[in-house]
Structure 1
Amino acid sequence: MTTGVTTSPGAARPPMIGIVASAAGGLERLRAGLVEPALASGWRVGVTLTPTAARWLNAVGEVEAMAAVTGLPVRSESRLPGTARPHPPVDCYVLAPASANTVAKLALGIGDNQALTQVGEAVGDPRVPVVVFPRVNAAHARHPAWPGHLAALRNAGVGLVEGPKVFPLAEPAEEPERDLPWAHILDAVAAALASRT
């Protein structure tokens, strides 16, 4: 396996991006849309999936493909106590695509799977920026609790990639007007990394 990034001894290590994804529309394009462009940017990448996202991507061979391009295992389960961490320490997390369920749980501090445990901890750690792309439809956004979830994440310093210019929301059962805003997500990660220095 290759990592996509090599460094010489004594060189500054490239940033480690923790890409976390949930079962939402566009997930099947995660490798081409986010993982490979992040590697091409010179970043190291570790991928963690919610259990349902892992089932979806396992069914189409994408879990193995992402492990091959990143050189790291794709996580979807917690490690056992005393076992080594499969990914290096993360410099920035990006949760994309994030389902309405995942966004709500993150805003409420619920870490009921490996993906949410990692990102939830980072939300509380000012040293590790978090970027979230909520992949929801217009009905999700009209739910009375939705504005509060986004406000809670913003107040915690989470960078949200959202809005009609970034990704217009479709009604339920309608196809979105465009692909997921992968370039906007990558730009938000780059900005979050730059803010750390």
Structure 2
Amino acid sequence: MKTLYLFGSAAPPVLDIVPVIQEAQRRGFDVCLGLTPAAARWLEPQIGELELLTGHPVRSEYKAPGAPDVWPRADVVLFAPATFNSLNSWALGLTAAFVVGFCAEGIGKGVPLVTMPCVNAAYARHRALDRSVAELRGMGVTVLYGDGGFRPNPPGERRPYPWHVALSAAERVSCPDSP
């Protein structure tokens, strides 16, 4: 079984994470859930349920130095939804949030990384987003944005988030030789 680190930031699709975890499990993944601190606050009432569902602690903070790892090694990371802030922080190497820091380090460790933004059209007009998407792609991250991925919606409008696209991409890039 391959291990999927499913990371999410505070965007509305993170509120629908339970069926995403279940679908990833149906696809044969052992799922470990990591959240930005804001996303963890949003899901705080569900943390116990999420830990039972995954069989692992939900993480939103760095572990203390010398503390043991509580998750198995990742075969692939899917960071979705990834907000404007998370994408820009990751591209710039600003690692205050555990999930962003893990992904930044994952580039250097060769961990397969997939991300799918969740930004509205107003954020998409900011030049930093295109620079960050290009920077992450240039470092080997699969960024599902634009054709074949997430397309921004008008501010305040919520459209279905294409989770199936993200999970399929995670399957494609996962390490083929992992146990």
After TM superposition, the score normalised by the length of structure 1 is 0.85
Asked if 1:31 corresponds to 2:23, the answer is no
Kept in 2, the 8 Å contact 1:31–1:62? The answer is: no
Match for residue 168 of structure 1 among 151, 168, 174: 151
Aligned counterpart in structure 2 of residue 157 of structure 1, from 140, 144, 147: 140
CA distance in 2, matches of 1:25, 1:31: 13
Unaligned runs of 5+ in 2: none
> Computing the radius of gyration over CA atoms, which structure comes out larger, 1 or 2?
1
Q: d(CA) in 2 for partners of 1:22 and 1:73?
A: 17
Q: Would you say 1:20 and 2:7 are equivalent positions?
A: yes
Q: Cα distance, 1:169 vs. partner?
A: 1.6
- Partner Cα distance (1:50, 1:75) in 2: 9
Residue identity over aligned pairs, in percent, reads 33
1:70-95 deviation digits (Å, cap 9, x = unpaired): 11000011211221111111111110
- After superposition, the Cα gap between the structure-2 partners of 1:174 and 1:90, relative to the gap in structure 1 and judged at 3 Å, is same
Shift of 1:162: 1.9
Within 2, Cα distance between the matches of 1:170 and 1:56? 22
Which whole-Å deviations, capped at 9, do the CAs of 1:31-80 have from their partners, x for residues lacking one?
Answer: 21x2111111111111111100000001xx32222110111000011211
Which of 112, 116, 139 pairs up with 2:122? 139
Q: Supply the distance in 1 between the matched residues of 2:148 and 2:75 (Cα, whole angstroms).
A: 28
Is 1:64 equivalent to 2:48 in the alignment? yes
Pair 1:171–1:54, CA change in 2 (3 A): same
What is the count of residue pairs matched by the alignment? 178
Q: Are 2:126 and 1:148 equivalent residues in the alignment?
A: no
The answer on whether the counterparts of 1:137 and 1:169 sit within 8 Å (CA) in structure 2 is: yes
Do the aligned partners of 2:83 and 2:118 also contact (CA within 8 Å) in 1? yes
* Offset of residue 168 of structure 1: 3.2
Kindly indicate whether the alpha-carbon contact (under 8 Å) linking 2:117 and 2:144 is maintained by their aligned counterparts in 1: yes
- The residue type equivalent to 2:93 in the other structure is G
- 1:51 corresponding residue in structure 2: 37
How many angstroms does 1:117 deviate by? Answer: 1.3
Could you tell me which residue of structure 2 aligns to residue 89 of structure 1? Answer: 73
Q: Distance in 2 between matches of 1:114 and 1:180?
A: 24
Aligned 8 A contact 2:76 2:175 in 1: no
Note if contact 1:124-1:156 (Cα within 8 Å) is conserved in structure 2. Answer: no
